[in-house]
Amino acid sequence: MKHVLCFLGFLLFGGISYSQNKIIDSLTKVLNNSKTDTAKIDALLNLATEFKNSDQKKMLEYADKALSLAEKSQFQKGIASCKYFYGFLAYSQGDFAKAKIYYTEALNGFKSLKLKRMVGKMIYNLGIVAIFQGDYKTGLSNFFDAQKIYEALGNKEDISDAAMAIANVYGRLGNIEKELEYHEKVLAMKNELGDKYGIAAAYINIANVYTKQKNYKKALEASKIGLKLSEETNNKKWLINANGNIGLIYYEMKNFQESIPYCLKSLQIAEEIGDKGALCEGYNNLGNVYLKMGNFQKAKESFDKGLSLGIEIGDKNEIKSSYENFANFYSTQENYKDALKFTMLYVNIKDSILNEETTNMMNELQTKYDTEKKAQEILLLNKDKQIQQTNLNKQKLITSIVITALGIVTLLIFFVFRQYMQKQKANVKLELAYKQIEEKNKDITDSINYARRIQSAMLPSNEQMQNALPQSLIFYRPKDIVSGDFYWMSQKGNEVFIAVADCTGHGVPGAFMSMIGNDLLNHIIIEKNILRPSEILDALHTGIQNALKQNEKNNQTRDGMDIGLCRINFKENKLEFAGAQRPLYIIKSTGELMEVKGDKFPIGGADFNEMKNFFNHDIFLEANSLLYLSSDGYADQFGGSEGKKFMTKRMKDLLKSISKKTMSEQLVELEEAYIKWKGNNEQVDDVLVIGIRV
């Protein structure tokens, strides 16, 4: 049974100094009496903050109103703050991918305004999202980066929150001693600050550690203190954690009848606020209780729900727990075939999360952080001693000054030498860690590079493209070594079939989908001779669903692809097009751009079993027309002076502006515009644009 972990969410505009009702009444009056948009936005944001932990529907209502006013008045701080609230809501509901997008937008906004504390908070929140997605390397790096910012600002509340996050990661990595050490520091800081929310979270987390140590008496005491404080502050997120903790403790004590009410209460609150992550965890825990009680039907129902939710939100840790639970379940049923299958799934995902690279990175980051902190303390200590010595020099004789000066020099030499030795030791550890990481990365990178060669061989060669489409361009920029975007081409007599597809995900998962899609297109068009684009997409949809078993009961996978597919008859100047959530852009010889929209449903996905057939567009092509097919990566790239998306409208304007140039010149223009817009921002997705002059 898995331990519940509590990450502390940030309050955006300070703490509570008197009862929440009085604050809400006061802020409502401020809102009603405000004369300027800025004052109204501030009041709306503060109201959203008050409801952040108790009523997220109201929080969203106030955030929406604030964003509408902020965008109207171009109040950048207000816009960034609203993005934070949207990110927090997505995180609370277990939608970590969406939370990452909103937190990143908020981070870019606060960076441009040079609001250091809010920059630190967004880095911290992105770290939490990374941890839930199984990316410990990014999460830990973010927590340490955030803590450096907080220490520079001297904000004890923020420092304690970052320490709590680091403690929870130590727990996930199995370092219980470090986890307890950090949580006890956090509790002391929260008590000093009088932060009821933080004290509740600290007790809940300390109870987790006691449970791991099998000290159930202390665990139960700490959990009930956390539950009481969570009820007093009406914090739904921590009420979920506190009830879940107590249910877990009774489970470990083999008091299953006492465990069930707390597990069900935790699930009830999670259902109320729509927290899919907590629901996933709660069903896994409840299933374990039923399994121990011998109620196998209810155990399997709970495990099924837990696994489905884990896959839906992409929480690798919960998926790992579900695999382990099913392995135990089938072993109890003496179904050793399925038990072995789920054991192998558990081992594979566990290795991908808790690998040697992650552990080494944890040690590296901790050593680096401790070393830098120690160096800073020594520098501050030396500075204080120099000031004291200066004051003392005014009161002593010249002889005393000389002796004292010699003493200071000796002391400085000692501190500098000690600092040098400490850094040398830390550097040795870091060098060893880096070597281990480099070796691991080299093995992984070599494998992925080999996969890239396979994927590249799958794509049409330059010679094939030039023979079939002599006036064409391909701007192809994968986000990672391998890509989830791919293009496909085939020539039959006077007709050329060309497709651009954007598969679910990028990197290795996307590449797997691209190979399935490429193989199906070869089978449908070349082998089965299905030539009408709409019918090709119908067959491709069915093929993806069959390949991924999406028609089977309880299969909730949504993997698939968006695609645009053209059939071009150059002799008759005829074009047929069908699209799944991707358009075709046609620029006529007059410079006018025409958009042919694809259907609003994708290829594949368990949600689209009964969808309508794809629509076939029949178009007569004028001489010297230009056709463009693309994935959404180009338009979705963040960049520019304000860190915003490039957007489809700007992409259309760019295509029109370069349409009179040769295809090779257009390719240069597309690449330069993309690089300039992206700047120093991270590439967010695979990018693919294909242009054809008829």
Quick: pLDDT tens for 331-386. Answer: 888 887 887 788 888 877 776 665 544 455 555 555 555 555 555 555 555 555 55
As a whole number of angstroms, the distance between CA 343 and CA 320 comes to 10
Is the predicted pLDDT of residue 498 greater than 90, yes or no? yes
Whether 139 contacts 130, CB under 8 Å: yes
Q: Where is pLDDT greater, at 556 or 170?
A: 170
Is the predicted pLDDT of residue 460 greater than 70, yes or no? yes
For helices 116-132 and 136-153, what crossing angle results, to 10°? 160
Mean pLDDT of 138-160: 85
For residue 687, what pLDDT is reported?
95
- In the chain, where the domains are located: 357-455, 460-511+561-597+617-693
Q: In sequence order, what DSSP letters do the residues of 365-421 get, joined into one string?
A: HHHHHHHHHHHHHHHHHHHHHHHHHHHHHTTS-HHHHHHHHHHHHHHHHHHHHHHHH
Is the predicted pLDDT of residue 8 greater than 60, yes or no? no
Q: Flag the least confident range among 5-9, 88-92, 452-456, 511-515.
A: 5-9
Is the predicted pLDDT of residue 454 greater than 80, yes or no? no
As a whole number of angstroms, the distance between CA 23 and CA 344 comes to 54
For residue 392, what pLDDT is reported?
54
For residue 327, what pLDDT is reported?
85
As a whole number of angstroms, the distance between CA 7 and CA 1 comes to 19
For residue 334, what pLDDT is reported?
83
Mean pLDDT of 431-449: 67
For residue 345, what pLDDT is reported?
83
Q: Which residues have CB under 8 Å from 254's CB, separation 6+?
A: 292
Is the predicted pLDDT of residue 444 greater than 90, yes or no? no
Q: How confident is the model at residue 128 (pLDDT cuts 50, 70, 90)?
A: confident
Q: How confident is the model at residue 400 (pLDDT cuts 50, 70, 90)?
A: low
CB atoms within 10 A of CB 21: 9
CATH says 460-511+561-597+617-693 is which class? alpha beta
Residue appearing with tokens 């005014």: 394
As a whole number of angstroms, the distance between CA 400 and CA 387 comes to 16
Q: Diameter of the chain by CA atoms?
A: 105
Tokens (6 digits) for 244: 């879940």
Average pLDDT, the chain: 82
For residue 382, what pLDDT is reported?
55
CB atoms within 10 A of CB 29: 11
State whether the Cα torsion 125-130-131-133 is positive or negative. Answer: positive
Is the predicted pLDDT of residue 204 greater than 60, yes or no? yes
As a whole number of angstroms, the distance between CA 461 and CA 138 comes to 37
Is the predicted pLDDT of residue 11 greater than 50, yes or no? no
CB atoms within 10 A of CB 413: 10
**pTM across the whole model:** 0.41
Tokens (6 digits) for 110: 């606060």
For residue 494, what pLDDT is reported?
87
Helix, strand, coil tally for the chain in percent (to 5): 65, 10, 25
For residue 630, what pLDDT is reported?
96
CB atoms within 10 A of CB 399: 8
